[in-house]
Amino acid sequence: MKAGVNDLKLTDEDIEIKLMLEGIFLKYGYDFRNYSFAHIKRRVLHKAGMSNISCMSEMMRKVIYDKEFFYEILSEFSINVTEMFRDASFFKALRKEVMPALVTYPFIKIWHAGCSTGEEVYSMAILLKEEGLYDRCQIYATDFNENALGKAKEGIYSADSLKDFELGYKQAGGKGKFSDYYVSKRGALIFDNSLKERIVFAAHNLVTDGAFGEMNIIVCRNVLIYFNKELQNRVIKLFYDSLSYSSFLCLGSKETVKFSKYDDLFDALNEKEKIFVKKIIS
């Protein structure tokens, strides 16, 4: 078989990393082969440096034979950059343009895919409470990183982030006091259990797992940018299959369904904030 142009540009180190990803898939079932290679390589080299590993062949052996080390590198591959009301203008657009459409729904199903440590999930719960919709919602918050999910379930965050959280809440159109939703204890913000009542946290891998059916909103922000084009298309199709018609797909500020294979299956409700609506196909 002829080598592709991209294969010819690979260094020996690149080849070893790709072989390690293949080994991870075969041994553990986690598939990172279609993630952005630049992102994966950065995380692998960072972990190698932190672990005093001098070459990729040594790292591959350790990943394959040391399950504890594999879960450490799994956390390296996970994208855990998030905060309360991240990109506040997005949440403001949700409040103004999406929530009014949900008022007539008897029951609302929301999927936060790639929820990481949960800050944006709690932001959504606060927004829904303030719009009087929370009691008729079911929110599914998923991620493949079990450690991140554990933190999300706890709903405990560093008080060092409080000023940023409060600012985001205000800029997102918060209607009350942010302090109503948490208690402060020993340098931590502990979010109220009432915000968790309608949230189910669960493990789900966008790369290998199947669709969630009949969602009214899917939120997956700043995850697709770490996937290559093929995987982006596959995940967008997964979201399409998981949405009921005329329901909403919310992506990150640098993500879009445009230029994907499934562009014609969505309309843009708010192009700037990357909120799309699943079309009704006759």
pLDDT tens column, 166-204: 999 999 999 999 999 999 999 999 999 999 999 999 999
Cβ atoms < 10 Å from Cβ of 75: 14
At 116-125, the pLDDT tens digits run 999 999 999 9
Distance separating alpha carbons of residues 238 and 224, to the nearest angstrom: 12
Q: What is the pLDDT of residue 8?
A: 52
Per-residue confidence at 2, pLDDT binned at 50, 70, 90? very low
**Section 15-30 average pLDDT:** 92
- 120: three-class secondary structure by DSSP: helix
**Which strand ranges, in their side-by-side order, compose the sheet holding 215-220?**
199-203, 137-143, 108-113, 215-220, 243-251, 275-278, 266-270
Tokens of 124: 């959504």
- Round the CA-based radius of gyration of the chain to a whole number and report it: 20
pLDDT of res. 1: 38
The pLDDT confidence band at residue 5, using thresholds 50, 70 and 90, is very low
Domains of the chain plus CATH, in order, are: 5-77 (no CATH), 88-278 (3.40.50.150)
Angle at 198 between CA 249 and CA 215, to 5 degrees: 25
| Count of Cβ atoms closer than 10 Å to residue 197 Cβ | 12
